[in-house]
A and B are shown apart, each in its own frame.
Chain A
Amino acid sequence: MKTKYILQYILIYTISICSTSCNDFLDKVPDNRAEISTPEQIRSLLVSGYPTGNYAVLNELSSDNFIDNNSPGPTGVYYNLNSWDKLHDEVFAWQDASASDEQDSPSEVWSGCYKAIAVANHALQAIEKLETEGRGDEVKAQKGEALLIRAYNHFLLVNIFAMQYRNDILSENDPGIPYATEPETKVMVNYERISVTQVYKRIETDLQNGLKLIDDNYYEIPKYHFNKSASNAFAARFYLFKRDYAKVVTYATTALGESPAQKMRNWNIDYPTFQSFAYGWINASSQNNFLIVQTKSWMNRIFGTRYGCNRDAATATLKGSGPTWDNSAPCYGGRLYLRGKVEYGLFFPKIGEFFEYTDKVAGIGFGHIVRAEFTGEETILCRAEAYVYLNRFSDAIADLKTFDDSRKITGKTQANLTEGLIRSFYTTGRTPYVNEFNTEKISSEFKVSTSQKALIDCILHYRRIETIFDGYRWFDIKRYGIEITHNIGTSFVDILKWNDPRRALQIPQEVIAAGIQENTRQVVWTNPDIVPFTTPSVRIDSIALKQ
Chain B
Amino acid sequence: MRRLILLFLYFTLGIGLTIGQNTQIKGIVLDGSSGEPVIGAIITAKGNLKIATITNADGKFEFTIPTTVKRLVVSYLGMKTEETSVGGFIKVTLSADSKQLNEIVVTGMQKMDKRLFTGAATKIDASKTLLSGIPDISRSLEGRVAGVSVQNVSGTFGTAPKIRVRGATSIYGNSKPLWVVDNVVMEDAVDVSVDQLSSGDAVTLISSAIAGLNADDIESFTILKDGSATSIYGARAMSGVIVITTKRGKAGVSKISYTSELTMRLKPSYNNFNISNSQEQMGIYKEMESKGWLGIARMAGSANSGIYGKMYELIDTYNPTTGTYALAQTAEAMNNYLRTAEFRNTDWFDLLFTNSIVQNHALSISSGTEKARFYASVSVMNDPGWTKASSVNRYTANVNASFNLSDRLSLNILTNASHRSQEAPGTLSQETDEVRGEVKRNFDINPYSYALNNSRTLDPQAYYKKNYAAFNIFNELNNNYINLTVNDLKLQGGLQWKPFKGLDIDGLGAIRYQSTAKEHFIKDHSNQALAYRAGIEPVDAVVRDANPFLYTDPDDNNALPETVLPKGGIYLRDDYSILQMDFRGTATYNTEFGSRNQYLLNMFAGTESNLTDRNSVNFQGWGYQYDNGGVPYVDYRLFKQQKEENNTYYGDTWNYTRSMAGFASSTFSYDSKYILNLTGRYEGTNKLGKSLQARWLPTWNVALAWNAHEEKFFKYINPVVSHMTLKTSYSLTADRGPSTVTNAQPVYRSYSTWRPLASVSETGTELEDIENSELTYEKKHEFNVGADLGFIKNRINLAVDVYTRNNYDLIGQIYTQGVGGVISKFANVASLKSNGVEFTLSSKNIHSKDFDWSSDFTFAYATNKITDLKSRNNVIKLVSGNGYALEGYPVRSLFSIPFVGLNDEGLPMFINQDGKVTVTDINFQEFKKLGFLKYEGPTDPTTTGGFGNVFTYKKIRLNIFVTYSFGNVVRLDPVFSAAYSDILALPKEFKNRWTIPGDEAYTNIPTIASLRQFANDSQIAYAYNAYNYSTARIADGGFIRLKEISLSYDFPEKLTSALKINDLQLKIQATNLMLLYADKKLNGQDPEFMNSGGVATPMPKQFTLTLKMGI
Query: Which residues of A approach B to under 8 Å, CB–CB?
Result: 3, 6-7, 10, 14, 18, 22-23, 25-36, 41, 44-48, 82, 86, 98-102, 107, 110-111, 114-119, 122, 178, 180, 183-191, 220-221, 223-224, 271-273, 275-276, 279-280, 282, 284, 292, 294, 354, 356-364, 366, 368, 370, 508, 510-511, 513-516, 543-546
> Are B756's CB and A25's CB within 8 A?
no
Contact, CB under 8 Å: B814 / A188: yes
| Distance, CA A409 to CA B443, complexed state (A) | 49
Q: Is B762 an interface position by the 8 A CB rule?
A: yes
Assess the B757–A47 pair: CB atoms within 8 A. no
- State the CA gap A18–B557 with chains docked (Å): 66
Whether A31 contacts B654 by the Cβ 8 Å rule is yes
Q: A34-B749, A47-B753 are in contact. Are A184 and B686 (CB under 8 A)?
A: no
In angstroms, Cα B655 to Cα A514, docked, is 34
Contact between B753 and A29 (Cβ–Cβ < 8 Å)? Answer: no
Inter-chain CA distance A23–B688, complex, in Å, is 12
| B residues less than 8 Å from A184 (CB atoms) | 770-771, 819-821
Say yes or no: is B593 at the interface (Cβ < 8 Å to chain A): no
Question: Which residues of chain B are within 8 angstroms of A546 by Cβ–Cβ distance?
Answer: 1018
Interface membership of B355, Cβ < 8 A: no
**C-alpha spacing A403/B819, complex, angstroms:** 39
B340 shortest CB reach to chain A, Å? 30
Given known pairs A114-B819, A294-B755, the reply for A30 and B742 (CB within 8 Å) is: yes
Given A18-B660, A27-B690, A189-B819, does the pair A44, B764 have CB atoms closer than 8 Å?
yes
In the bound complex, do residue B607 and residue A186 qualify as a contact, i.e. CB atoms below 8 Å apart?
no
Query: A5 to nearest B CB, angstroms?
Result: 11
* Contact call B764/A122, Cβ cutoff below 8 A: no
Task: Identify the closest chain B residue to A2 (Cβ).
Answer: B499
Identify the interface centre among B655, B690, B695, B817: most chain A CB within 10 Å of its CB. Answer: B817
Chain A neighbourhood of B765, CB < 8 A? 34, 36, 41, 44-45, 47-48
Task: Report chain B residues within 8 Å CB of A544.
Answer: 1018
Q: Using Cβ atoms and an 8 Å threshold, which residues of chain A touch B548?
A: 357, 360-361, 363
> What are the residues of chain A within 8 A of B435 when measuring CB–CB?
364
The reply to whether B817 and A511 form a contact with Cβ atoms under 8 Å apart is: yes
Q: How many Å from the CB of A368 to the closest CB on chain B?
A: 7
Given A86-B923, A117-B821, A514-B816, A26 contacting B771 (CB threshold 8 A): no
Interface locus among B124-132, B480-488, B822-830, B980-988 = B822-830
Task: Quote the shortest CB–CB distance from A131 to chain B (angstroms).
Answer: 19
How far, in angstroms, from A356 to B643 measured CA to CA in the complex? 11
8 closest residue pairs by CB, A with B: A184-B820, A47-B764, A118-B821, A276-B557, A115-B821, A510-B815, A3-B499, A34-B748
B17, CB-defined interface residue at 8 Å: no
Residue pair B767, A119 in contact (C-beta under 8 Å): yes
Q: CB distance A273 to B557 under 8 Å?
A: yes
B658 interfacial contact with A, CB 8 Å: yes
Interchain nearest-CB distance for A319 vs B (Å): 25
Apart from A31-B654, A188-B816, list 6 A-B contacts with CB within 8 A. Answer: A26-B659, A26-B685, A114-B820, A119-B821, A364-B434, A508-B818
State whether B817 touches A516 (Cβ < 8 A).
yes
Provide 12 A-B residue pairs closer than 8 Å at the C-beta atoms, listed in order of the A residue.
A27-B690, A30-B687, A45-B764, A185-B773, A191-B819, A224-B762, A279-B554, A279-B555, A370-B756, A508-B823, A543-B1018, A544-B1018
- A279, B816: Cβ atoms closer than 8 Å: no
By a CB distance below 8 angstroms, the chain A residues around B820 are 114, 118, 180, 183-184, 189
Whether A362 and B660, one on each chain, are in contact in the complex, defined by CB atoms closer than 8 angstroms, is: no
8 Å CB contact of A356 from B646, B750, B828: B646
CB contacts (< 8 Å) of A545 on chain B: these are 1018
In the complex, B1016 has a CB within 8 A of chain A:
yes
CB distance from B406 to the nearest CB of A (A): 14
Chain A CB within 8 A of B591 CB: no
Q: Are B750 and A44 in contact (CB under 8 A)?
A: yes
Q: What sequence of 0s and 1s flags, for each residue 311-327 of chain B, a beta carbon within 8 Å of any chain A beta carbon?
A: 00000000000000000
- Determine the distance from Cα of A280 to Cα of B558 in the docked complex, in whole angstroms: 13
Would A368 and B756 be within 8 Å (CB), given that A33-B749, A273-B557 are in contact?
Answer: yes
Interface check B1019, CB cutoff 8 A: yes
Report how far A86 CA is from B645 CA in the complex, Å: 30
Q: Assess whether B763 is interfacial by the CB under 8 Å rule.
A: yes
Also in contact, A187 and B772, with CB within 8 A (given A48-B764, A86-B923, A118-B821): yes
Other-chain residue from B554, B767, B773, B818 in contact with A122 (beta carbon distance below 8 A): B767
B755 to chain A: which residues have CB within 8 Å? 221, 224, 294
The reply to whether A25 and B658 contact each other, CB–CB distance below 8 Å, is yes
Given A26-B686, A356-B754, A510-B815, check contact A31 B742 (CB 8 Å): yes
Q: Which B951-966 residues have C-beta < 8 A from chain A?
A: none
Q: Which residues of A contact B872 (CB under 8 A)?
A: 101, 510
Among A41, A101, A220, the residue within 8 A (CB) of B762 is: A220
Q: Are B816 and A114 in contact (CB under 8 A)?
A: no
B766 within 8 A of A: yes
Contacts of B653 in A (CB 8 A): 31-32
- A508 / chain B contacts, CB cutoff of 8 Å: 818, 823
A44-B763 in contact (CB<8A): yes
CB pair A187–B756 under 8 Å, yes or no, is: no
Number of A-B contacts (CB under 8 A): 247
Shortest beta-carbon distance from B531 to chain A in Å: 8
B770 to A183, Cβ gap below 8 A? Answer: yes
Contact between chains at A178 and B817 (CB < 8 Å): yes
A227 to nearest B CB, angstroms?
A: 13
Shortest distance between the CB of A18 and any CB in chain B (Å): 7
User: Which A residues are CB-close (under 8 A) to B816?
Assistant: 187-189, 511, 514
Could you tell me the distance between the alpha carbons of A98 and B440 in the complex, rounded to whole angstroms? 28
Contacts of A513 in B (CB 8 A): 815
Output the nearest chain B residue to A358 by Cβ-Cβ distance. B431
B590 adjacent to chain A (CB < 8 Å): no
Using Cβ atoms and an 8 Å threshold, which residues of chain B touch A190? 817
**Is B382 part of the contact surface with A, judged by Cβ < 8 Å?**
no
Contact residues in A for B607 (Cβ distance below 8 Å): 14, 18
B648: interface (CB < 8 Å): no
Most buried by A among B695, B756, B770, B824: B756
Q: Name the A residues within 8 Å of B753 (CB-CB).
A: 47-48, 294
> Shortest beta-carbon distance, A310 to chain B, in Å?
19
Taking the nearest CB of chain B, how far is it from the CB of A154, in angstroms?
A: 11
Are B823 and A111 touching (Cβ within 8 A)?
yes
Min Cβ gap B466→A in Å is 9
The answer to whether A111 and B821 have CB atoms under 8 Å apart is: yes
Which residues of chain B in 544-592 are interfacial with respect to chain A, using CB atoms and an 8 Å cutoff? Answer: 548-549, 552, 554-555, 557-558, 585
Among B742, B762, B928, contact of A47 (Cβ-Cβ < 8 Å)? B762
CA distance A279 to B758 in the complex (A): 12
Contact A31 B756 (CB under 8 A): no
In the complex the two chains form, what is the Cα distance from A362 to B435 in whole Å?
11
Chain A residues within an 8 Å CB radius of B657: 30
Chain A CB within 8 A of B330 CB: no
Chain A residues with CB under 8 Å of B290's CB are none
**Which residues on A sit within 8 Å (CB–CB) of B19?**
none
User: A515–B607 Cα gap in the complex (Å)?
Assistant: 45
Complex Cα distance, B221 from A448, in Å, reads 88
CA distance A280 to B653 in the complex (A): 37
User: In the assembly, what is the distance between CA of A359 and CA of B607, in Å?
Assistant: 48
Within residues 906 to 948 of chain B, which ones have a CB less than 8 A from any CB in chain A? Answer: 923, 925-926, 928
Determine whether the beta carbon of A362 is less than 8 Å from that of B823.
no
Q: Which residues of A contact B818 (CB under 8 A)?
A: 107, 110-111, 114, 508, 510-511, 514
B433: contacting residue among A28, A44, A189, A359, CB under 8 A: A359
The verdict on B1006 contacting chain A, using a C-beta distance below 8 Å, is no
Give the chain B neighbours of A275 by CB distance below 8 A.
552, 554
In the assembly, what is the distance between CA of A83 and CA of B841, in Å? 62
In the complex the two chains form, is B1018's CB within 8 Å of A30's CB? no
Closest to B430 in A: A359
B925 neighbours in A (Cβ, 8 Å): 86, 99-100, 102
Partner of A185 from the list B554, B656, B658, B772 (CB cut-off 8 Å) is: B772
| Closest-CB distance, B752 to chain A (whole angstroms) | 9
| Given A26-B684, A275-B554, A107:B823 Cβ within 8 A | yes
